[in-house]
A and B are shown apart, each in its own frame.
Chain A
C-alpha cells in the first residue's frame, strides 16, 4: 500500500482543499449549534467543544497540507514558472498543480479564520 496517492488525471483535485474547508466549517458550525441548543445531549462542557474544534482543525489543516504537497508535486515542485499557457499536456498539468496549490493556501488560511473564534469564546453566549 502506498501512503502518498499517485498523480491522477482529473479536474476534481482542484477542489480538494476548498472541500476540506467546507467540511471543517460545517463540522464547527453544526457541532457548536447542536451543543448550544442541546447542551445536555452529550453532557460535556464547552471546553470539550473547543477541544473538538481544535481537533478537526488540526485534521483539516493536515489534509490541506497534504493536498498542497500533492499540488506542489503536480506543479513539478516549482521548476517552471507560470503562466503555463502552452498548448501542451505538460503545461495544462502544471497549471492545474499551481492553481491547486494556490487554493490550498487560501483554504489553509480560511480554516484558521474559522477556527479562531474557538480561541476566544468560552461559551455559547446568546
Chain B
C-alpha cells in the first residue's frame, strides 16, 4: 500500500465517506419506494413473497378444514377448486421462485464484495412486475374469478371457457408477466456472479451460494421460456380460438403437458437449489470450519442443474406415451438422486469434521433436510413408472411433493431468515421463539403430511373437495387437518418473531455468528454495500484475512470515494476476477415503476379483452423503456479512465463482450431462443402425432419463405457492415447502412407475412395453419423489435451518443440480430421446405 494512502488526513477520509453515503442514500418520504438499492429491493421482494405465502397458507388451511370430516359443506366445490389452484400457483410462482430472487438480490452483492447488482433498475423492475402480477392473481379469488383448473392448467378443461371462466386467463397472463420478472432476475444474477465479483475472488474462491445461484439462473433461462411459449399457445386458443390443444382440429392437450413440465420439473430444482445454497452457507458457519468437499458441491449443483431437465415426463407417466420413452425419464429421475445425495453427505461430513453449534438456523436446516430425505425417497418410488401408475394423482403424490418442497425449501428458507436477519437491522431473532416455531412446524408438518401417504395409498385422489364416510379416509384426514393447524401455529410464531418491535434491544455485533464470508462486513445502517471493495484471497475471507473488515471499513481498498457523484462498482474477469472496468450503475428512478406498472396494466387489460386500454398501456410501457434506455444506458463517460485506488486506473466504458450489457443481451436472447425452440418443438410434435399433419391444407409458399429468409440474412449482413464501418469512423456510411438494413428488414417481414397469407391459411381451421402462423408471428414480432433497435441506434448516432469508440448500443443490437437471423432462417426453412420434404 502506498504511503500516500496511509497519510490521508482524517478530514479527507470523512469527506470521502460523506460523498459515498450521499451517492448511495435512499430517497426520503414516499420517494423511498423509487429506490433501486439491492438492499431495499431484496427486502421488499422477500416481504412480498412471504406475504403471498401466508395468503396461500390460509387457503390451504381452509381446504384442510373442508377435508377434516367426510361430506363436509364448509366450502363449495367451486371455491375449493379455486383455493387449491391458487394455493399451488401462489406457492410456486409467488413464493418459492421469487423468494430466492429476493434472497439473491439482497445477499449476492455483499457476499461477492460488490456494491450493487450490475443492473439495479432491472432488479427494481423485476420486483414491481412481480408484485403487481401477484396482487392481480391473488386478488382474483375475492371476485370469485380465480383460476380453478389446478396449478398446471391442463387442457381441455382449462381451455374450455365454460368450465374455467376468466380465471384461466388471469393465470396465463398474470403468470407470464411474473415469468418475465424471473427472466429479468436471471439475467441480473448471471452477469452479477460472472462479472462483478470482488477482485481476487477467483472461481475457486467464490462462495457456494453464488455457485448455486449461477446454476439456478442458468436453469431459469432454459426452463421458463417453454412455459412462456406454452402460455402463448394457450392464450391464442382461449382468445382467438386457434386449436393448439383441441384434438378435434388436430391439436393435442399433451403438448401443453410437455411444455408445462419442461418448465415444471426443473422448477422444482430451481426452488430447491437456492435453499440448499443457504444451507451451504449456514453449515460451515455453525461447524466453524470450511465446507468439506467444495468441488463436490459444485459437481452437485451443476449435475442437478443438467439432469433436472431430463425428468419432465415423469409427471406424464400415466398419459400413454411409449414405455421406452417413460423408461428414459425414469432412468434420469433415478440418476438425479446421485448429485442430490452428494450434497447431503457433504453437509454431514462438514458437521462431523467441525464442532457443531446447534443454533436455531441449524435446527431448521437439519430438520428440513430430514424431511427432504423422506420426500426424496418417496420420489425414488414415484420415479418408477409401475409404482407411479398406482400412486398417480393420489394424496401419495401430495405428500411426496410437500415433503420435498417444505423440507427442501421452506425449512431452509426459515433457517436462512434466522441466520441472516441480523443483516437487516443488526439484531437477532429470538432463539426461544425460533426453537418453539421449529418444533411446532416440524411436528405439525409430519402430523399433517405423513398420513397423506396412507390416504393416497388407500386411493384418495387429490383435488376432491369432499369424500364419503367409511371408506377409510376419515381419521387420516382429521389428523392431517390437526397437523396443518399445528404447522400454521409454528409459521405464525416466526411471523410474530419477525414483526415484533425490537427497538429496545441493543444493537448486536456486525458478525454475530462469526461467519467467514464477506456479507457479514456490510453495516445495516449504510446503503453503500461495502465501504471499499476488498481484494479477496480466501473462500472464507473473514476467517483467513484477519484485518480485512477493518481495512474495508476504513476505505483502504478500491473505490472508497464517489468524486463524480456516481454509483460505481467494479467489473472483473470471469475466471480470476481481475479488475477490468469501473461500472456506473443507475440510481433511484421512477422509470422502473412506470415501466412495470404500464406493462402490468397491458397484461391485465388483455385479460379482460380491453383492447384500447391494452394498446395505450403498451405504448406507455414502450415509451418508458425507451426513455429508460436513452437516459440510463450506454452513457459516454466524461473521461476514459478513472483512478480506483491502490494505484490502479480502469476504463469507464466497455463495448462488445467486455461490457455487461452485451452479456445481458446474450443471456436474454438465449432465453428467447429457448422459447422459440419450444414452438419449433410444437411444430414437429404435431408432425409426429398425425399421419398427414397438414390435413391436406396448402402450406406456406416455399418461394416467399425462401425470399424472406434471404432478405433477413441480407438485413443481418448490412448490420454487420454498419458495425464495421462505424468502427472505421465512417459514420455516414454506418447511418446509411442502418437505414438500408431497416428497409430490408421491413421488406423481409412483408415477404414473410406473404408466405402463409398467400395460400390463405386459416389458423382457426386446423392446428397446422395455426402453428405455422405462430412461428411467423414470432419472427415478425422479433423483426419489429429489431427495426426499433436500428432506429434507436440511428437516433443515438445523430444525437452524438453513439460514436466510433463508444458503440455499445450498436454492438448489442448486432448481437440481437445474430439471434434474429437464426430464428428467421430456421422458421422459414421449416415452414417452407419441411412439408414438401415429407
Contacts and interface: CB of A to CB of B under 8 A. Distances in A.
Interface in A51-96: 82-85, 87, 89, 91-92, 94-96
Contact of B295 (A19, A22, A29, A82): A82
Given A87-B536, A113-B332, A117-B328, A95 B204 contact: yes
A85 B290 contact: yes
Interface stretch (B14-22, B266-274, B317-325, B779-787): B317-325
Nearest to B334: A113
Contacts of B303: 18, 103, 106-107, 110
Contact of B299 (A28, A106, A125): A106
A95 B295 contact: yes
B372 to A, nearest CB: 20
B575 to A, nearest CB: 6
A103 B324 contact: no
A36 to B, nearest CB: 4
B331 A84 contact: no
A108 to B, nearest CB: 11
A32 B299 contact: no
Interface stretch (B72-80, B91-99, B306-314, B745-753): B306-314
A114 B331 contact: yes
A92 B576 contact: yes
Interface string B330-358: 11101100110000000000000000000
A22 B306 contact: yes
B325 A29 contact: yes
Contacts of B631: none
Nearest to A12: B574
A103 B327 contact: no
Given A34-B688, A85-B539, A125-B322, A110 B328 contact: no
B107 to A, nearest CB: 21
Contact of B294 (A32, A34, A83): A83
B294 A82 contact: yes
Contacts of A2: none
Given A37-B688, A82-B294, A118-B324, A113 B306 contact: no
A38 B688 contact: yes
Nearest to A122: B324
B331 A117 contact: yes
Nearest to A104: B299
Contacts of A21: 306-307, 310
Interface in B631-659: none
A110 B335 contact: yes
A32 B322 contact: yes
A52 to B, nearest CB: 12
A101 to B, nearest CB: 9
Given A37-B689, A114-B310, A124 B204 contact: no
Nearest to A115: B331
A48 interface: no
A84 to B, nearest CB: 5
Contacts of A109: 335, 338
A113 B335 contact: yes
Given A36-B324, A96-B204, A84 B295 contact: yes
B205 interface: yes
Nearest to A40: B691
A22 B674 CA distance: 15
B294 A103 contact: no
A46 B670 CA distance: 36
Contacts of B309: 22
B380 to A, nearest CB: 13
A114 B332 contact: yes
B538 interface: yes
Interface string B525-560: 000000000001111000000000000000000000
Contacts of A110: 303, 307, 310, 332, 335, 338
A126 B322 contact: yes
Nearest to A75: B295
Nearest to A46: B324
A103 B294 CA distance: 13
B754 interface: no
B367 interface: no
B833 interface: no
Contact of A92 (B203, B302, B335): B203
A113 B338 CA distance: 12
Interface residues of A, number: 49
A25 B295 contact: no
B298 interface: yes
Contacts of A124: 322-324
Contacts of A29: 325, 328-329
Nearest to B194: A11
B324 A25 contact: no
A114 B574 contact: no
Given A34-B688, A114-B310, A15 B295 contact: no
Given A110-B335, A113-B335, A89 B328 contact: no
Contact of A25 (B320, B332, B338): B332
B32 interface: no
A85 B205 contact: yes
B322 A11 contact: no
Contacts of B194: 11
B368 interface: no
Nearest to A106: B303
A102 B331 contact: no
A96 B576 CA distance: 12
A19 B307 CA distance: 10
A7 interface: no
B341 to A, nearest CB: 11
Contact of B298 (A49, A87, A94, A99): A99
Contacts of B339: 106
B302 A14 contact: yes
B163 interface: no
B295 A99 contact: yes
Which of B293, B320, B332, B689 counts the most A-chain CB atoms under 10 A from its CB? B332
Given A84-B204, A117-B324, A121-B327, A33 B688 contact: yes
Contacts of A18: 302-303, 305-307
B109 interface: no
Contacts of A49: 324
B295 A102 contact: yes
B544 to A, nearest CB: 9
A99 to B, nearest CB: 5
Contacts of B331: 113-114, 116-117
Contacts of A38: 688
Contacts of A116: 327, 331
Nearest to A121: B324
Nearest to A123: B324
Contacts of A126: 320-323
Contacts of B483: none
A110 B308 CA distance: 12
In order of increasing CB-CB distance, the 7 nearest A-B pairs are: A117-B327, A95-B204, A124-B322, A18-B306, A37-B688, A102-B299, A125-B323
30 contacts: A10-B575, A15-B302, A22-B309, A22-B310, A25-B328, A32-B324, A32-B328, A33-B321, A82-B295, A83-B295, A85-B538, A87-B200, A87-B202, A87-B536, A87-B537, A87-B538, A89-B576, A91-B204, A92-B202, A92-B203, A92-B205, A92-B576, A99-B299, A102-B296, A103-B302, A109-B338, A110-B307, A110-B338, A117-B331, A126-B321
Given A83-B539, A99-B302, A113-B331, 18 more contacts: A9-B575, A10-B575, A32-B324, A33-B688, A34-B688, A49-B324, A82-B293, A83-B294, A85-B205, A85-B538, A87-B200, A92-B576, A102-B299, A107-B306, A121-B324, A124-B323, A126-B321, A126-B323
